Structure 1
């Protein structure tokens, strides 16, 4: 069980997921008037672009209306269904961006080890690896955006040596604040310290994420920034 928050807005339907790459393709078709011209403009293979449109339409319904060549020439245009799907994607991105910009975890601690700009900081929640520029003093304040945190089931959390997200703090879910598309999850990691994570509402519902759920909050050292404490 994994709740990823290194977020790339996605809309899933069955086994097919609309990603940013798909959105770029659909908008290029809208701009250029054909799948072939869109693929060429994006430097992609026409056959693969065509295949991807078919895959998306299998899940989401008709997205591209095709017109065969003739005296007036051929071409393609987006259907109303496709435009609605793109609008949903834009709303998801907007909501995510708004929450991500304001949701931030702050941890205070003391540097106990340093390797260049990377430092190990002892915090009330445990040791955290972070980017901390050389500066006078060892007391620092760490900041971490909610979209840089991944929540995992402790029983399935990978070994720290096998993942780039070396920071791992185990705790329990305190709150789940759900919006239309994304949810801000607060995890109590001990000693009155909490970490915020951003997940999709679909993930919350599918995985039954609620108050009291035990999770591991993991995040990369490069996503954690430190500055001297005031």
Structure 2
């Protein structure tokens, strides 16, 4: 049986999670698909849930992480704003730095697991 360590950084604003692993994954999916609905499908969540998460982020941040264009003949679209791109970049950098800094202790903890 394999083991793995996972960091789950959450940054709160008041009592709600402003930035966390699910919201960052949603931002990455939006960047990949160009659509909140396609990102929601990719992550196995409802469109409503994805929209609520985007709205929570946009309200908690200094400026929106996601910008949307209304539909029409060409259809709408969704993209990360420069702030959204920075948010993902910094979040993933923190995760990598934490993994690197804690590698020896993580290995020591994993050695304590039953074979």
Native 8 Å contact 1:11 1:89 kept in 2: no
Aligned pairs (5 A) from 1:131-142? none
| Structure 2, gaps ≥5 residues long | 1-5
Tell me which structure has the larger Cα radius of gyration: 1
Q: Report the alpha carbon displacement of residue 36 of structure 1 after superposing the two structures with TM.
A: 0.8
Tell me the TM-score normalized by structure 2. 0.80
Q: 2:78 is matched with which residue?
A: 76
Which protein is richer in helix relative to its size?
Answer: 2
Match status 1:224 vs 2:112: yes
Counterpart Cα distance in 2 of 1:39 and 1:101: 33
Counterpart Cα distance in 2 of 1:104 and 1:24: 24
Counterpart Cα distance in 1 of 2:14 and 2:79: 25
Counterpart Cα distance in 1 of 2:113 and 2:40: 39
SS where residue 109 of structure 2 aligns? strand
Q: 1:144 is matched with which residue?
A: 109
Q: Number of matched residues?
A: 108
Q: 1:161 is matched with which residue?
A: none
Tell me the TM-score normalized by structure 1. 0.42
Q: Report the alpha carbon displacement of residue 43 of structure 1 after superposing the two structures with TM.
A: 1.5
Question: After TM superposition, what 4+ stretches of structure 1 lie above 2 angstroms from structure 2?
Answer: 9-17, 102-105, 223-227
Counterpart Cα distance in 2 of 1:36 and 1:42: 10
| Structure 1, gaps ≥5 residues long | 1-5, 106-142, 146-222
